[in-house]
Structure 1
C-alpha cells in the first residue's frame, strides 16, 4: 500500500463524520494477534537446553521473554489482545505447548511464572489483553499418569468415525491420552488448574483447545468455575469443523466466542484461488447469522497453526500475486462480521504448508509495507466500530465484484471487493443506500455521489475499499437553484460590463 493511501485513511479517522467511534471496546471489537510462543522470539537464550533449529519439530527458542520484548511491536500494528499457545510444562518435544505434562508449572523452555506475570502486567499497561491456550481434552503422549491414574483416562481407542460424537469425545486423539472429563476428580483438577492461573497472573481469557472432543456437561461446569473467579473472563472455544450447524450446538454453553471455521473454509480458501468467488463472503455471513446468537462474536481468521498458511495456498492456487491476494483476504477479514485473529508472520506475508512448515520462526523486521496495511485495517476497525458491531448484507454482486453493507443503528458503512484482474464498476440503486447521501472512501480517496438515482463504485483489479455513508453536503434543491441562478447572474454581469 502506498503511504498516500494510509494518509487518506488517517485523515478520515481523525475527522470521522457519520459513523462514530465508541469509547469502551467489547470483545467483538478486539483485534487479536496469535503467537506460537516457541516460534516467535527468543528473548532468553539461557533456557534453550532443548533447542534444535534444524529439526522442524523441536524447540526453536521462542519464549515468554521474547513476547514481552515485542509488545510494542504488536501494539504498533494496532492489535488489542494477544493469544498465546500453552506455556505449561510439556512432555518432551512439545514445542507447540499442547502436550501438557504439568498444569501447574510453566515449561522451563518458555520461562517462569514470574515471566508470565510480567507479560500480563506489561500488556495491561498498553491496554492489551492476554489470552492463554488451555487444553482439557488430553495430556502429552506417554504421560506417566496413564499408569499412575488409569481411572482418569478413557480406554485407548482410535477415532475411526469422525461423525460419531461418542468416539470424538471418548476415544484418543491420535496418541494423546484422553481425559475422562466426566469423572468428578478429573473435572475438579482441570477447573482448579484453570482458576489457579487466573488468580496468579490476572490473564483475561482462555482459548479452549479441542472443545468438540470434550463432553458438553463438562464445559458448563468449567464455564461456571472460571467465572466464579472473574465474571468477565473471556472464553474462546475452538470447534474445528466447517459445518455451522454442527458447531452451533456449542453456542449456548457459556462461551463468549467460537472459532469460525466456516469463514476459513468458504472465504479464506476461495480468495487463494485464481477464480475466486466473492459471493462466499455472503455465504459465510449468512451461515453465521442463521446458526449463531451473535455472528460478530465469532472468531474469524485467514489461517492458523493447524492449517496451511494463506500465502502458501495462494501460491498453489495460481494467483498472479499472492501478497496482493493476502491484502484482499485481510481486508475481508476486517470488514466482515467477527473478531479478527491474525497469526504471527501473516504481517510479513509468511508462507508455509501443513504443520510444521506453517510454524517457522517469525521474521524481523519483516515486510514493512504490509505492516502498514495491517495497522490501517486495525485503525479502521477501531475508529469505525460498525465494522465490528454491524449486521451485514450483500447489496450488489456482479462479475466477481461485490458490495456489502454493515449497519448498526444509524451507523452505516459499505465495503467493496473486486476479485478480478481487470478494473470493474458496479451500480447501486439509491434505494439501497438512501437519498441525500454520499460515500466517502477510506482506503482510497473516492467520493461516490448519487447520479440520477444511482451510485457507481469503481475499483481497479484485485482491490478493495471501504466507505462511510454520510449526508450529502450539498442540498439537491440548492444545487438546482444554483444551476438556474448562476447563468442569470453571469448574463447580467456581462451586460453590465458592456454598458460600462
Structure 2
C-alpha cells in the first residue's frame, strides 16, 4: 500500500494510474493511531478554497474507499458543515461548508466510519490575492494568440514521455503527440509580445490520459491537474505570472460538456445519472437549432444536449447538482490559482442550458470585470447572439456570458473574398453580417478570427492567395470585436491537400531544436512572403496598441460600391475632428474620391497611409490597387 505518512502533503495518489500528481493545495490524510483505517487514501476536490468569496459555500467532493457512509465533523472555527450528501457510489461523499464570514485558516475534517475507525482530512481556506475579485478580463483593446501547446514549441524534452501515460511522442504521426509544452510557450513569450499579442489562449492543458490522440486536450481525465507531458500546475502558474509581467494575459480553455473515457468517473461513477444516456454512447445530433426552434420536438432537443461527440468523450449530465457545482468550483479554482484573464468554453451550447446559466452567472458574480467567451459554432447570427449577455432573445433565458465566438463573420469574410463582386455577392456578405449586430448585447466584445484549430487555415481557405490573406487579416484586425489569430497564421501556414486536424495543427517552425533550417521565432529560413506576412500582422497589431481608444470605440461602415468596402474606427467621442482609422478594401483598381466620405472626413483633415507614410487631404482622390487593403490614420 501507498504510505501517506512518508510523502509530502502536496502529493496525492491517483489510484487508477498510480502516478503522483502535483497539487497546489494543502491536502493531508492523517491516519489516527487508534481504530483508524489502515493506509487508506482520500482525495478532495477542490483541493483548497479561499476566504472572502462572493458565494458563501464550497462543496467538497471527497473520494476514498467506503467513505459514503462516514459521518463528518469539523474542528472549531468559523467554517461549518451545512450539508452532507452520499450518492450511488460508496466511495464518494459530498460535504458542503458554510464559509460566510470565515477568515483564511486551516482546519480538519474527521470522517468516522460505523465501526469507529476514522480518517482526518486537513483543508485550507487561503487568503485571496489583492484585487482578485476585481480582475480585468480581456477586451476589445486586446489581440489573442491561439496556441496548440503540443505543436508550438518543445521547451522541456524530459517530459515528452511520462511513465504511465500510453500516448508517446511521435512527430511523424499527424495525430500523435509532438512534445510541445508550457515551457516552450514561456521560452517564446518575447516573440508573442513583440508581435503585438496581449492575450494567449491555449488549447486545453489539463490531463488527457487517453491511449491515443490525446495531444489536443479536449478529453479531460483530471480537472485539477495539468497533463505532465505539458508540465505541472506549478509550471502553468509560473507561465501565467510570467506572461502577466510581460503585459500578456492567459485565457484557459475549459470543457464542460464531456470528459475523456479514461477519466476515473467511468470506472467509479459518483451517481447513476453522472453521465448522459446511462453511460452508453448515443451520438449528438449537433442540431443546435433545436434549442431555439419553436417547432422542435423535445426528443430532438434532448438528443442534441445529451448526445455524445464520440464514444471516447462521455457526455456529462450537468443537471446533477453535485456535478454542476463541481464544474463551477473548478473554473473558479483555476481563475484564483492561476490568475487567469479569461476563459474560453468549448462547445458552449451543448451542456444543459440551465446549468450554463448557473455556471456563467456564478463566475461573473465572483469576477464582475472578467471575460468568458463561448464557442457556438453557428453561422447564423441569431443563434450565436442568443448566448451573449444583453442580447434580445426569444425567451427569458438568463445568460451572463460576456462574449461568443463570431463564426458568422468568419464565414462571411471567406465568402466575400472568394466571390466575385456584384449587387448580391462579394463584400456585401461582410456588410450584411455586420448589419445584424443589433442582435448582440455587445458586438464589440465578440471574439473574431480568420480561422482556428478546428478548421482549415485561412491561407488555405483563400486558395493560398497572399492578397486575399492580406485583405482578410487587415479586416479582422481592424473591424469591431476582439481578434484572435491562430499560431502560424502570421507566417502563412496552410494545410493544402488535407483537412486533417493533425495537419492543420502542424508544428511551428523553430519550436524544436532539431528544426535547424527554419525558425519563425528568429526569422531564419523564412521566405520573403512569410517574412512579409509576419511584418504585416505585427504592423496591424501595433496599430491596435497605439490607438486602443479607437478599437474600444465605434465601427462605422459604408455599403460596398464597385468592389470597394470602406469603414472607419472612431473613439467614443462626440468630437468629429478627433483621430480615426479609415480602412479601404478593394478588389478592383479604382480611383477613390475621399469626398464620398464627408460624413466621416472633414475638410482640413489629413490621412496618413500606414504602409508607406504617404499623406492625403480629405478632398483628395486616391488610387487603390486591385486586391488591396489600405489603412489610413485620420487626423
Farther-moved stretch of structure 1 (432-441 vs 301-310): 432-441
Farther-moved stretch of structure 1 (456-465 vs 432-441): 432-441
Partner of 2:483: 340
Partner of 2:596: 429
Partner of 2:502: 356
Any conservation in 2 of the 1:398–1:426 contact (CA below 8 Å)? no
172, 185, 191: which is aligned to 1:73?
191
Any conservation in 2 of the 1:272–1:310 contact (CA below 8 Å)? no
Partner of 2:310: 174
Partner of 2:442: 294
Partner of 2:51: none
Q: Distance in 1 between matches of 2:587 and 2:622?
A: 14
Residue by residue over 1:429-477, the C-alpha shift from the partner in whole angstroms, topping out at 9 and shown as x without a partner, is 36322333332322233433244xxx4232122222222332xxxxxxx
Change over 3 Å in CA distance of 1:428–1:168 after alignment to 2: farther
Partner of 2:246: 126
Q: Distance in 1 between matches of 2:544 and 2:569?
A: 12
Find the residue that maps to 2:260 and give its secondary structure: coil
Any conservation in 1 of the 2:431–2:560 contact (CA below 8 Å)? no
Partner of 1:370: 533
Partner of 1:223: 360
Question: Residue 280 in 1 paired to residue 429 in 2?
Answer: yes
Q: Distance in 2 between matches of 1:134 and 1:372?
A: 32
Partner of 2:156: 44
Any conservation in 1 of the 2:137–2:341 contact (CA below 8 Å)? no
Residue by residue over 1:310-348, the C-alpha shift from the partner in whole angstroms, topping out at 9 and shown as x without a partner, is 111222xxxxx6223222211001111110000001011
Figure out how many residues of one structure are paired with residues of the other and give that number.
Answer: 437
Aligned CA-pair RMSD: 2.2
Q: Distance in 2 between matches of 1:342 and 1:450?
A: 33
Partner of 2:274: 152
**Cα offset, 1:423, TM superposition:** 5.2
Question: Residue 418 in 1 paired to residue 601 in 2?
Answer: no
- The normalised TM-score by structure 1 is 0.82
Partner of 2:290: 164
Any conservation in 2 of the 1:444–1:465 contact (CA below 8 Å)? no
- Higher RCO (CA < 8 A, seq sep 6+): 1
Change over 3 Å in CA distance of 1:444–1:173 after alignment to 2: same
Find the residue that maps to 2:622 and give its secondary structure: strand
Any conservation in 2 of the 1:424–1:461 contact (CA below 8 Å)? no
**Structure 2 unpaired stretches of 5+:** 1-135, 162-167, 292-300, 390-398, 511-518, 521-529
Any conservation in 1 of the 2:420–2:426 contact (CA below 8 Å)? no
Any conservation in 1 of the 2:171–2:177 contact (CA below 8 Å)? yes
Q: Distance in 1 between matches of 2:507 and 2:382?
A: 36
Partner of 1:438: 606
Change over 3 Å in CA distance of 1:203–1:111 after alignment to 2: same
**Structure 1 unpaired stretches of 5+:** 1-23, 316-320, 471-500
- The normalised TM-score by structure 2 is 0.65
Question: Residue 271 in 1 paired to residue 417 in 2?
Answer: yes
